[in-house]
């Protein structure tokens, strides 16, 4: 099966990036949002990003308009009924995701695939909420989506080979690289990344170095494009804490325990770039 049209549920940072890369690759995409204002914000971000592409001469103004014309924004789920695949990218909350999965499963075509952009929730559990566990898969994008090369393609317990192959082909078509992994807490990306971020927060809490020096060590010594504390701010400190809680609870190894300082900054409402302050300030 080849995917000729996609629906994306959600209008947050990840959903917006996913809609953009699909449309830029010539794929018609229905974007389902909860409110008109969240949809308008998402469309404005996509237009701004594409406009930068025009200014940098990576695309023409006509390409930009063509991409924008492929996005069909809606607040109604019935718009997804005709698409070959639905990518769920709503907030990282099992209750919210479960509601979306059940609704989507009722509406989409029999052979449609349902993918989740989750970074920590079990694909196997999400699949079990549907009538098509063989056609449920993880499609884990990275922030900022228009820039990052990887899509972690996550195979749930029941995911079919055909679903994996179709998702990998779509990933390649939108200019990204699919890497297949099995469903396990944190997959590969966050199982490796989050302990590094957590350890950087322990270094800060224990006074091993300043926030700037912790990040400089990893940037200059390890060639990371940004330091772990700045990266945590980009991802969202609440998201990092949630993922660490999942690793800690579901793998059961104390090495994943979230640093108390991470809990404290989240409790203070310092969530990183999105709230204007995390380990660094962004005002």
Q: Which stretch binds ligand CAA (CB under 6 A): 99-107, 196-204, 223-231, 258-266?
A: 223-231
Q: Which stretch binds ligand CAA (CB under 6 A): 130-138, 143-151, 172-180, 245-253?
A: 143-151
Residue 220 interacting with ligand CAA (CB under 6 A): no
Residue 143 interacting with ligand CAA (CB under 6 A): yes
At 223 the three-state DSSP class reads coil
Structure tokens at 167: 């998702």
Which has the closest alpha carbon to 34: 73, 86, 7?
73
Q: Return d(Cα 87, Cα 136) in angstroms, integer.
A: 10
CB of 186 to ligand CAA, least distance (A): 9
What are the start-end ranges of the E strands in the chain? 6-9, 29-32, 71-74, 85-88, 113-116, 136-140, 150-155, 177-182
Residue 67 interacting with ligand CAA (CB under 6 A): no
Kindly tell me which of 145 and 204 has the beta carbon lying closer to ligand CAA.
145
CB of 105 to ligand CAA, least distance (A): 24
Q: At what angle do helices 211-222 and 189-205 cross, to 10 degrees?
A: 140
Residue nearest to ligand CAA (CB): 119
What does the binding site for ligand CAA look like in residue numbers (CB under 6 A)? Answer: 49, 52, 56, 119, 142-144, 146-148, 189-190, 225-226, 231, 235
């Amino acid at each position: 099966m080849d995917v000729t049209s996609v629906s994306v549920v959600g209008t947050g940072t990840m959903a917006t990036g996913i809609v953009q890369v699909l449309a830029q690759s010539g794929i018609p995409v229905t974007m389902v949002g909860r409110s008109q204002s969240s949809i308008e914000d998402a469309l404005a971000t996509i237009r701004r990003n594409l406009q930068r592409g025009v200014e940098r001469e990576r695309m023409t103004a006509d390409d930009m308009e063509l991409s924008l014309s492929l996005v069909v924004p809606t607040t109604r789920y019935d718009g997804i009924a005709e698409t070959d695949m639905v990518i769920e990218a709503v907030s990282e909350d099992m209750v919210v995701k479960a509601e979306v999965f059940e609704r989507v499963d009722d509406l989409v075509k029999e052979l449609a695939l349902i993918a989740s952009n989750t970074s920590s929730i079990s694909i196997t559990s999400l699949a079990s909420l549907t009538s098509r566990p063989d056609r449920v898969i993880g499609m884990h994008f990275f922030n900022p989506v228009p820039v990052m090369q990887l899509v972690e393609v996550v195979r749930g317990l029941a995911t079919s080979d055909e679903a994996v192959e179709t998702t990998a082909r779509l990933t390649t078509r939108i200019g990204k690289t699919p890497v297949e992994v099995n469903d396990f807490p944190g997959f590969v990306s966050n199982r490796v990344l989050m302990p590094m971020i957590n350890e950087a927060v322990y270094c800060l809490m224990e006074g091993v170095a300043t926030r700037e020096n912790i990040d400089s060590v990893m940037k200059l010594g390890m060639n990371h494009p940004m330091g772990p504390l700045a990266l945590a701010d980009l991802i969202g400190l609440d998201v990092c804490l949630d993922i660490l809680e999942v690793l800690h609870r579901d793998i059961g190894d104390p090495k994943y325990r979230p640093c108390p300082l991470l809990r404290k900054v989240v409790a203070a409402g310092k969530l990183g770039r999105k709230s204007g302050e995390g380990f660094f300030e962004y005002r």
